[in-house]
Amino acid sequence: MHVLILGGTTEARRLAELLEAELPAGSRVTSSLAGRVARPKLPPGEVRVGGFGGAGGLAEWLRTHQVHALIDATHPFAGTITFHAATAAAAAHVPLLMLRRPGWVPGDGDDWHPVGSLAEAADALPGLGRRVFLTTGRMGLAAFADLDELWFLMRSVDAPEPPCPARMETLLDRGPFTLEGERELIRRHRVDVLVTKDSGGAATAPKLAAAREAGIPVVVVSRPPVPEGGAVAGGPEEAVAWLRVLTG
């Protein structure tokens, strides 16, 4: 049994841990990382790093490494690899499961402004605040680079590269984050608007509660589309159950 996990998320690491314990001796679990983060938290089992060279390259990898099951546990905003996974799995006749954590849902007291892209988030910002807590990651900062009137607190795992907003303070940090910590950041930096992707999951959710408490608006970037049909799991335990059924 050889399972390939397309990773780069907390859930992918957790799944690799569960499969290490679950699968019979002699099985292989390989986690694949894109290589975006300089010092990633590594899962147990085998790890490979770097792109496959498109859907065709991934299909070839599945064949030559005799993969029995492919689990796409990438981030909900990693839209390209998810479509490549669907195409490659079909071409190589390998069963595919998409592991997708549920998106966040606004609650009482939330002032959320859903947008379709980072560019739309940038368009919405001047009407909402002046001091922005930007948590959409270091990629795609170019969308905010022309907003000279606004000040940004930009948080990411690794340092960003230009183009970036002119008035930007960088905070290098990696989740999970706490409500106390997020509350303190908003207070200390006098943040008056938060920008986030609808990533879902508990590790980065406290900023939403902190924004609600502070009474500030939140610009929420909606998820990109995913391939139609196919098996979907909401969490690592469900993915293990899918694999159990698959292997009988």
Ligand X SMILES: NC(=O)c1ccc[n+]([C@@H]2O[C@H](COP(=O)([O-])OP(=O)(O)OC[C@H]3O[C@@H](n4cnc5c(N)ncnc54)[C@H](OP(=O)(O)O)[C@@H]3O)[C@@H](O)[C@H]2O)c1
List the one residue out of 45, 15, 10, 9 whose CA is nearest residue 27. Answer: 45
Q: How far is the CB of 248 from ligand X (least distance, A)?
A: 28
Which of these ranges, 27-35, 107-115, 144-152, 167-175, lies near ligand X under the rule CB under 6 A?
27-35
Q: Is 174 in the site for ligand X (CB under 6 A)?
A: no
Q: Is 79 in the site for ligand X (CB under 6 A)?
A: yes
Beta strands in the chain (DSSP E): 2-6, 28-33, 46-49, 69-72, 96-99, 112-115, 131-134, 151-156, 168-172, 193-197, 218-221, 231-233
List the one residue out of 144, 97, 152 whose CA is nearest residue 121. Answer: 144
Q: For ligand X, give the closer residue by CB, 18 or 226.
A: 226
Q: Is 43 in the site for ligand X (CB under 6 A)?
A: no
Q: Is 117 in the site for ligand X (CB under 6 A)?
A: no
Q: Is 15 in the site for ligand X (CB under 6 A)?
A: no
Q: For ligand X, give the closer residue by CB, 137 or 206.
A: 137
Among 78, 99, 233, 243, contact with ligand X (rule: CB under 6 A): 78
Q: Is 80 in the site for ligand X (CB under 6 A)?
A: yes
| Residue list 135-154, contact with ligand X (CB under 6 A) | 137
Cα 74 to its chain centre, rounded Å, is: 7
Is the alpha carbon torsion for 107, 110, 114, 119 positive or negative? negative
| Residue list 205-234, contact with ligand X (CB under 6 A) | none
Q: How far is the CB of 80 from ligand X (least distance, A)?
A: 3
Q: How far is the CB of 43 from ligand X (least distance, A)?
A: 11
**3-state helix/strand/coil string of 108-174:** CCCCEEEECCHHHHHHHHHHCCCEEEECCCCCCHHHHCCCCCCEEEEEECCCCCCCCCCCEEEEECC
Q: Residue numbers of the site for ligand X (CB under 6 A)?
A: 6-9, 32-34, 36, 51-54, 57-58, 74-75, 77-81, 84, 137, 197
